[in-house]
């Protein structure tokens, strides 16, 4: 069969491909330290699991409205109002099959053929492909060395067809968290160039330095009106397999994505919706423990990487570190680095090139402290063999 060109151009997600590669090594009997994980290694909170079981046992497993149950959209609006400090209504919310599904729904609804969309690099692997699939042109904007926003590069990237900006703070893969000053400047930038902003806040709760919740929507009425938030159940509540995400933005956009999904996919799964509602309605006590564990691992892995000699920006959020390898790996080819590291030491990591930034590698610390120690030890050996 002949595959449609737009679909045929889509490569398999590099992170999923790498994870599969690491699993092949494991199947072949190798002892692999897998540091590619994009999901928390914790159980979902008890209240989530109980709600999921009660939904099934109660037989509430039929179709729901395509944009999600009204009760859940209300719970999401209340959650956003509470965490972002800006009021939201259910009419501004559409529930989707995942955060990824919410992102693609927004892009398919906002991007017109030939529109340029600025992506602040490093940018999560799916952004480029999703913008392309929506018939837009992704424009990667390089970061500062500390992975913060380079405003000169951002201004230089503006062209006559620029219509949108995608922002992801805390960032995957760097863990960088935008400062209040950066958000104020981004709001000003979007206003001056009349851009919509897609703010991927899926790691918004995973911050470790007692920072308040920061979102672009807090930067005044203009920023609020031109920003679409995407968030979901996967990371904060360790619910990756439940597949529930959402968008919050102008009512006409929320409705458009709801219509699109009503034809393409139908309602998100009923069990996931009720489970997520239970997650939002009262703070799960498990979250505090998860944040504490992530924070300890973050400090340990940054210290370990720096001791080995890798220049490592200190990440404020998410569960990734993104050290530079250019000083230890001539040419900085991150894919070759990851290939050799997996081959020689059985440590799996994701090359920065997958996120549009060469000379860096992403290590996930969504794995046990024992695995982190083992990974650091092997990485140290890998680099010392090269030096020697
Ligand atoms: N956005 C970012 C930056 C991510 O890293 C992920 C998952 O890895 C997602 C969105 C989507 O998550 P999900 O589709 O599980 O909701």
Distance from the alpha carbon of residue 99 to the mean position of ligand 1, in angstroms = 5
Residue 388's pLDDT band (cuts 50, 70, 90) = low
Domain 46-281 part of CATH 3.40.20.10 = no
Q: How far is CA 381 from CA 30, 308, 374, 375, in A?
A: 17, 9, 11, 10
* Sequential DSSP letters for 227-283: EEEEEESTTTTT-GGG--EEEE--HHHHHHHHHHHHHHT-SPPHHHHHHHHHHHHS-
Strand order in the sheet with 162-168: 93-96, 245-248, 227-232, 196-200, 162-168, 116-120, 137-141
Q: What is the pLDDT of residues 219-273, one digit of tens each?
A: 999 999 999 999 999 999 999 999 999 999 999 999 999 999 999 999 999 999 9
Q: Which atom of ligand 1 is nearest to the CA of 244?
A: 16
Pocket lining for ligand 1, CB < 6 angstroms: 38, 98-100, 124, 168, 172, 200, 202, 232, 234, 240, 245
Domain 5-44+286-387 part of CATH 3.90.1150.10 = yes
Same fold, 5-44+286-387 and 46-281: no
Q: What is the pLDDT of residues 258-302, one digit of tens each?
A: 999 999 999 999 999 999 999 999 999 999 999 999 999 999 999
Ranges of each domain in the chain: 5-44+286-387, 46-281
Q: What is the pTM of this model?
A: 0.96
């Amino acid at each position: 069969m002949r595959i449609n060109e737009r679909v045929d151009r889509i490569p398999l997600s590099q992170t999923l491909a790498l994870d599969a590669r690491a699993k092949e090594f494991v199947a072949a009997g190798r002892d692999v330290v897998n540091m590619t994980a994009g999901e928390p290694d914790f159980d979902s909170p008890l209240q989530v699991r109980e709600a999921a079981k009660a939904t099934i046992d109660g037989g509430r497993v039929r179709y729901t409205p395509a944009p999600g149950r009204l009760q859940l959209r209300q719970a999401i609006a209340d959650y956003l109002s509470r965490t972002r400090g800006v009021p939201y209504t259910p009419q501004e919310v559409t529930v989707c099959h995942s955060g990824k599904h919410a992102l693609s729904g927004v892009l398919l609804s906002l991007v017109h053929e030939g529109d340029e969309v600025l992506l602040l690099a490093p940018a999560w692997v799916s952004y480029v492909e999703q913008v392309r699939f929506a018939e837009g042109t992704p424009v990667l904007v390089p970061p500062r060395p500390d992975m913060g926003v380079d405003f000169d590069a951002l201004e230089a990237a503006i062209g006559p067809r620029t219509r949108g900006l995608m922002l992801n703070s805390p960032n995957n893969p760097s863990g960088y968290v935008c400062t209040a000053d950066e958000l104020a400047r981004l709001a000003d930038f979007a206003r001056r160039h009349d851009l919509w902003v897609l703010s991927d806040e899926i790691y918004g709760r995973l911050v470790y330095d007692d920072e308040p919740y920061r979102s672009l929507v807090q930067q005044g009425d203009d920023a609020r009106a031109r920003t679409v938030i995407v968030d979901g159940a996967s990371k904060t509540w360790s619910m990756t397999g439940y597949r529930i995400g959402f968008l919050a933005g102008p009512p006409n956009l929320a409705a458009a994505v709801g219509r699109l999904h009503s034809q393409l996919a139908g309602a998100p799964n009923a069990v996931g919706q009720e489970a997520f509602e239970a997650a939002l309605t009262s703070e799960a006590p498990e979250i505090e423990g998860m944040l504490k564990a992530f924070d300890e691992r973050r400090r340990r892995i940054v210290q370990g990487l720096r001791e080995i000699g890798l220049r490592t920006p200190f990440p404020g959020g998410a569960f990734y570190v993104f050290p530079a390898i250019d000083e230890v790996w001539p040419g900085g080819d991150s894919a070759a680095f990851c290939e050799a590291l997996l081959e020689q030491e059985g440590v799996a990591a994701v090359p920065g090139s997958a996120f549009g930034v060469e000379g860096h590698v992403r290590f996930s610390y969504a794995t046990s402290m024992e695995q982190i120690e083992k990974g650091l030890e092997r990485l140290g050996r890998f680099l010392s063999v090269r030096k020697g």
